[in-house]
Amino acid sequence: MPRGVRVVLLVLLVLLVLLGVADRVLLRVAQEGVADRLQQRAGLPGRPTVTIHGFPFLTQLAAGRYGDVEVTANGVSTHRFRDLTVRAHLRGVHAPLGGVVSGSLTELPVDAVDGTIELPYQQVAAAAGIPGLALSVDTRSDRDDRVLVTGRVTVLGRSYTARARALATVRAGTVAVTADQATVLGTAVPAAVLAIVARGLSFVVSVPALPFGLGITAVHPTATGLEVTATARDVVLRSGGGTAGR
């Protein structure tokens, strides 16, 4: 190979290495900047962990659009729930290069957000307002939407400690737990009473004001809580924690 060709190839190799290093360095800087802005614009209690996916990063920076920004926010509280962890993917984040460089961005338009939040069973039980209520995953069921509920209910003036299998669903933006197959512990009661007991162990809880404008769409019981799936479309994250549609 002629010496001149070798020199050209060496120069190209060095340039590629430098571009690769610059890409990774700018990626880290951008992730830190996005984390700071999301904390302010999504009203998060602390600085989230941010990962911007996609390679190379420089093409996304130049275009001012980031295809997939993964965010993990800890310590989120909303209504009756506290210290939650929100895991979200912000898809199609629009942040022009000039605004990123100058730090002058006042809003972040986002095409779509998909996230998950786990609601601990203990906090769900407290929000339900049923005396002595406890929840756990129904390990005997072959379905992934079933939980076990235990609590005290009053039927015809008598108080019973009861247990029931229940279905966890999303109903009009709330989490609904609908009990059936109830049993009264240590007491024989008529079938009609068991139906009343099941209704007494059923409840609905709301989960308002989630970050990124998320609205819950599905629920899945886990070993430690109810994991809700949430989505949002065409949202704008503004300074001060405001969120609006586009």
* Residue carrying structure tokens 């008529």: 190
- Indicate whether 119 pLDDT > 90: yes
Q: Average of pLDDT values for 50-79?
A: 89
Nearest CA to 214 among 143, 117, 148? Answer: 117
Extract the tokens encoding 65.
Answer: 């659009």
Q: Which amino acid is at 39?
A: Q
Contacts (Cβ under 8 Å, ≥6 apart) of 8: none
Bridge-based pairing of strands 215-221 and 49-53 is unpaired
| pLDDT for the residue numbered 229 | 95
* 9 burial type by CB count under 10 A (0-12 exposed, 13-18 middle, 19+ buried): exposed
* Structural domain contains residue 176: yes
Extract the tokens encoding 15.
Answer: 């340039």
- Indicate whether 4 pLDDT > 50: yes
* Structural domain contains residue 14: yes
Would the pTM count as exceeding 0.75? yes
- Indicate whether 5 pLDDT > 50: no
Indicate if 191 and 106 belong to the same structural domain: no
Bridge-based pairing of strands 146-155 and 158-171 is antiparallel
Confidence of residue 21 (pLDDT cuts 50, 70, 90): low
Report the alpha-carbon distance of residue 216 to residue 182 in Å, rounded: 28
Indicate if 156 and 176 belong to the same structural domain: yes
- Indicate whether 123 pLDDT > 80: yes
Its domain, for residue 29, covers: 3-115+232-245
- What values do phi and psi take at 191, rounded to 5? -60, -35
Q: Average of pLDDT values for 93-113?
A: 78
pLDDT > 90 in the chain, percent: 38
* Structural domain contains residue 227: no
Name the average pLDDT for the chain: 83
Q: Average of pLDDT values for 150-165?
A: 86
Within 13 A of 134's CA, how many CA atoms are on the CB side? 6
* 89 burial type by CB count under 10 A (0-12 exposed, 13-18 middle, 19+ buried): middle
Q: Please tell me the total count of domains within the chain.
A: 2
Q: Average of pLDDT values for 67-89?
A: 92
Report the alpha-carbon distance of residue 197 to residue 179 in Å, rounded: 9
* Structural domain contains residue 226: no
Indicate if 166 and 97 belong to the same structural domain: no
Check if the beta carbon of residue 96 is closer than 8 Å to that of residue 64: yes
Confidence of residue 8 (pLDDT cuts 50, 70, 90): very low
